[in-house]
Amino acid sequence: MYCQNCGHEVNDNADVCLNCGKILKQTSNDTTPIKKSKDSGSIGWGFLGFFFPLIGLILYLVWKDTAPNNASIAGKGALIGFISGIVLSIIMYIIMILVIYPLISY
């Protein structure tokens, strides 16, 4: 028998070609399909990322290769949440300077 990958002659009972390493025979009889992870890009991950940007960033980094839709939504939520937090902090600071500071008498 010959290897279909490299053409090297192999033993009829061999499971792997010793020349190129190609698997010649399927050794497992298990034919159950592998379940794919649910990568629906649920808006729930976006809300989680918005309210907890650090968690959204971590989820993005963990899922960017295995669940890209979920990673994208969590990352966008984290980014929007982080930017919103900065903008609200600036607005609160301005309000404190303009409204509260004049009320304080020395």
Per-residue pLDDT tens digits for 47-93: 999 999 999 999 999 999 999 999 999 999 999 999 999 999 999 99
Task: Dump pLDDT digits (tens) for 91-101.
Answer: 999 999 998 88
User: Is-contact 15 24, C-beta < 8 A?
Assistant: yes
Q: Which of 56, 62, 54 is nearest to 77 (CA)?
A: 56
What three-state secondary structure class fits 90?
Answer: helix
Q: Which of 86, 77, 37 is nearest to 57 (CA)?
A: 77
pTM: 0.58
H-only helix segments in 8-106: 43-51, 53-63, 68-95, 101-103
Per-domain residue ranges for the chain?
1-27, 43-103
Phi-psi region of 28 (alpha: psi -120 to 50; beta: other; left: phi over 0): beta
Name the residue with higher pLDDT: 13 or 73. Answer: 73
